[in-house]
Amino acid sequence: MKNTRIIIAGDLFPMPCNYELFSAGDARALFGERLCELFGSADLRVCNLEGCFTDSDQPVEKVGPSIKAPVSAVRAIRELGIDCATLGNTHSMDYGRQGYLDTCKTLAENGIAYFGWGDNADDIKRYETVERDGRRIVLYNTTERFANNVPGKDHPGVNLYDEYRVCQEIAELKKDCDLLIVFYHGGIEGTHYNSEPMRRRFHRLADCGADVVISQHTHAVGEEERYNGAYLLYGQGNFCFHFRPDVTPLLAEGLVLELELSDSGFTAKPHRILRTEKGCVYDEAQELSEFYERSKTHDKLLAGDEEAQAQFGERFGKDCLNWVNTFFYCFRGINPLDAQKRKELTPAEFRKYMRSAYTREQLLGMQMFLQNEEFNEVGNTILSELLRETDTKENLS
């Protein structure tokens, strides 16, 4: 039986800077000849679609960008050959029910299967099963909770990560497939280093039967790990997701993952890609030294190496500090009273003051840090880093 090749792209969605190329279906102008050949030679192609295909102008109320693209922009994604798309992510519900319905219709009409979300809390399509070359491949998508993606009894949402349920489902699905790939949308945006909670989750998923676990959402390339026969990728980075106009080192690269499934097992090979002004291209140099170096340090950390543990913790903390401005912006208010005046307020007066002291955007931001898993961890890490720096300063004085 011939081997089955699977190509997996990270975060992908049209943006205003490239709507025209996406709508024209010009995949080669967006992704270059080499990437188009790589996707064209595969038996199965998967990506994470990070937004809504809709003409709606009614985004949900939230902090941060609401991402959509015109329905016509799906053409280049179809031309690239994408067969399946994960929709359990941060931005798929940015335009509520209408965005959900429009996106489902657009993908269905273009022959792109989708999974990771559904009509309501009781009707979520958690996975897609694909037959290739006589082999059964299961693609499973789950995501952390964000402010606007939680499904209800009467409104759509995503497949939220509930460890007990998800692990049970993974174990059951593994009984009847040749390869099980889990797409986990979560982690801390902008971090090259994974956290201990992420490692525990990935290991449990592998222990329950996942052959491959991929973290998307972080917009940064992390590390790879081989654990209990599984391949774990902590941070795939972007594929083509130009949500910011400036190209930082963080956003300049991503990984396309190639899996080759044979009768004796599977192999995993990451390919480095580079962002361009309108899209991305294959990195002919395949400069992956930093990725492999982080992965080696990660393996040492798991083996109990204290220096590697300290290095990972320190660098993860520094990456989290990139959020410090957002964190304190949300909590500072607009007209803070001095401490003495606050003490003089009655409870009713204080509630009135609180309503006037913060903008609606700041209140939504505060809710984001308390509610979303990612930002809850970010907030606590920021405070820990600042406390550590304060302790160091006091010890030196």
Domain-ending residue, one of 303, 328, 351 = 303
The pTM assigned to this predicted structure is 0.89
Domain shared by 142 and 256, yes or no: yes
330 and 267 in a common domain: no
Q: Write the DSSP symbol of residue 190.
A: T
Provide the number of structural domains found in the chain: 2
What is the rounded distance in angstroms from the CA atom of residue 377 to the CA atom of residue 195?
Answer: 10
Residues 48-77 as b or e (16 or more Cβ within 10 Å = b): bbbbbbbebeebeebbbebbbbebbbbbbb
Of 279, 303, 327, the residue at which a domain comes to its end is 303
Give me the domain span that covers residue 383: 309-396
Q: Identify whether residues 294 and 384 lie together within a single domain.
A: no
Q: What is the mean pLDDT of each run of 10 residues along the chain (397 residues)?
A: 95 97 98 98 97 95 90 98 96 95 98 97 96 96 87 94 97 98 93 92 98 94 97 97 77 94 96 96 97 97 96 89 81 70 79 80 84 82 83 64
Q: What is the CATH number of the domain that holds 44?
A: 3.60.21.10
My answer on whether 271 and 317 are in the same domain is: no
- How deeply is 248 buried, as exposed, middle or buried, from its count of CB atoms within 10 A (0-12, 13-18, 19+)? exposed
- Both 319 and 243 in a single domain? no
Query: Could you tell me if 96 and 170 lie in one domain?
Result: yes
